[in-house]
């Protein structure tokens, strides 16, 4: 089955420096697939500079790759004809981080809902469109009467973000790329919004790519996880084992740095080494890694498949087989071993 969306050995570099002479590698040799038949909620976790936002923009076709290919249903994304392009825009949708910026202040909030209905011909008449929109709003826990007809500045950030989820719902896409959808929303509302996203996945079979720096919400909402560090995948796999027993030293550092709501105060006790500015050959984490070996500084470690459902890019695990061509998708959609005749 052709994957819905595929990144094949994609690298994205940006010009940097004063005269654009420097090169900033945002994402390096990244391969990834979204399978339309097996929808998953995948979390992509990384800090700033990890490449996660670039990944989102590549998947949405907002930037072209510097090398490698982005394929939609097997065809190059940047060479699609008009009909295929509309199909792409219909089935690959996004929810962005900033609930303020995504609204055109000139229009009422209805505009973000009526525009896709119109562009993708989701309804045959105005009343049908209205009904569709109201259903979508109700499905995310909003009252149409309180929302429609208002201007963006009259609504709270949480309401605005929920409207964005409703918008994604209207389109019934196959994939939603959610780039930090709740980081600008209050804590008490995050669970509600992420819950709606999870429900979209469970009820409608929509794949979700949840991009965030917040491991805790990623753990709660996702099935699989990818940990990015400085433009490459550090670790990937099912979310439970990766979070509970992280293998890559960076993942261990990341999880250890998260302050927990607990009476055990073990957090800010020892100083930790910060990032250096260098772009070394070899493993990107070598200059901060407590388990660094000489080989780490000269060779880039491939992704070693340490279990059917997880992989880590670290020479500590070089006894495990390396994933062919870094195809991390192999550990992201691994079916759990099911007992025969088990109820699903």
Least distance from another protein to the Cβ atom of residue 130, Å: 18
Least distance from another protein to the Cβ atom of residue 319, Å: 28
Tokens of 91: 């089935």
Least distance from another protein to the Cβ atom of residue 192, Å: 3
Nearer to another protein, 145 or 271 (CB): 271
Nearer to another protein, 93 or 207 (CB): 93
Nearer to another protein, 118 or 126 (CB): 118
Q: Which residues bind another protein (CB under 8 A)?
A: 47-48, 60, 62, 85-86, 89-90, 93-94, 96, 98, 100-107, 112, 115-116, 119-120, 156-159, 186-195, 198, 213-217, 219-221, 239-240, 243, 253-255, 257-263, 265, 267-272, 274-275
* Residue in the structure block whose two tokens are 């949708």: 93
Nearer to another protein, 11 or 120 (CB): 120
Least distance from another protein to the Cβ atom of residue 159, Å: 7
* Residue in the structure block whose two tokens are 């500590």: 316
279-285 long-range CB contacts below 8 Å, 24 or more apart? Answer: 279/25, 283/313, 283/314, 283/315, 284/229, 284/230, 284/231, 284/232, 285/229, 285/230, 285/234, 285/248, 285/249, 285/250
Least distance from another protein to the Cβ atom of residue 341, Å: 26
Contact 226, 218 (CB under 8 A): no
CA–CA dist 219, 244 (Å, integer): 10
Which three-class secondary structure state does DSSP give residue 10?
Answer: strand
Nearer to another protein, 232 or 239 (CB): 239
Pick from 88, 95, 56, 60: which is nearest to 72 by CA? Answer: 88
Least distance from another protein to the Cβ atom of residue 60, Å: 7
Give the β-pairing of 304-307 and 310-312.
antiparallel
Nearer to another protein, 32 or 103 (CB): 103
b/e map 294-317, b = 16+ CB within 10 Å: eebeeeebbbbbbeebbbbbbbbb
């Amino acid at each position: 089955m052709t994957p819905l969306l595929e990144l094949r050995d994609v690298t994205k570099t940006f010009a940097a420096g004063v005269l654009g002479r420097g090169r900033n590698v945002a994402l390096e040799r990244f391969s990834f697939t979204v399978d339309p038949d097996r929808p998953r909620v995948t979390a992509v976790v990384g800090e700033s500079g990890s490449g996660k936002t670039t990944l989102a923009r590549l998947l949405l076709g907002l930037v072209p790759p510097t090398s490698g290919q982005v394929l939609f249903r097997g065809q190059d994304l940047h060479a699609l004809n008009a009909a295929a392009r509309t199909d792409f825009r219909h089935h690959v949708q996004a929810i962005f981080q900033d609930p303020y910026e995504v609204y055109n202040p000139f229009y009422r909030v209805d505009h973000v809902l009526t525009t896709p209905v119109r562009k993708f011909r989701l309804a045959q008449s105005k009343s049908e469109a209205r009904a569709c929109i109201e259903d979508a709003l109700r499905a995310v826990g909003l009252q149409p009467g309180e929302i429609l007809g208002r201007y963006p500045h009259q609504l709270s950030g949480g309401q605005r973000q929920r409207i964005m989820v409703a918008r994604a719902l209207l389109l019934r896409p196959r994939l939603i790329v959610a780039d930090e959808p709740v980081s600008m929303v209050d804590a008490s509302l995050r669970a509600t919004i992420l819950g709606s996203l999870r429900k979209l996945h469970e009820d409608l079979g929509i794949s979700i790519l949840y991009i965030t720096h917040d491991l805790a919400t990623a753990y709660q909402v996702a099935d699989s996880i990818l940990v990015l560090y400085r433009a490459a995948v550090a670790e990937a796999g099912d979310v439970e084992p990766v979070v509970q027993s992280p293998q890559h030293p960076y993942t261990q550092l990341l999880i250890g740095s998260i302050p927990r709501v607990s009476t055990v105060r073990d957090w800010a006790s020892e100083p930790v080494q910060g990032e250096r500015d260098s772009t070394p050959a070899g493993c990107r984490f070598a200059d901060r890694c407590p388990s660094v070996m000489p080989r780490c500084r000269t060779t880039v470690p491939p992704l070693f498949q340490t279990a059917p459902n997880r992989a880590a890019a670290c020479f500590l695990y070089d006894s495990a087989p390396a994933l062919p061509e870094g195809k991390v998708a192999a550990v992201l959609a691994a079916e759990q071993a099911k007992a025969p005749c088990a109820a699903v």
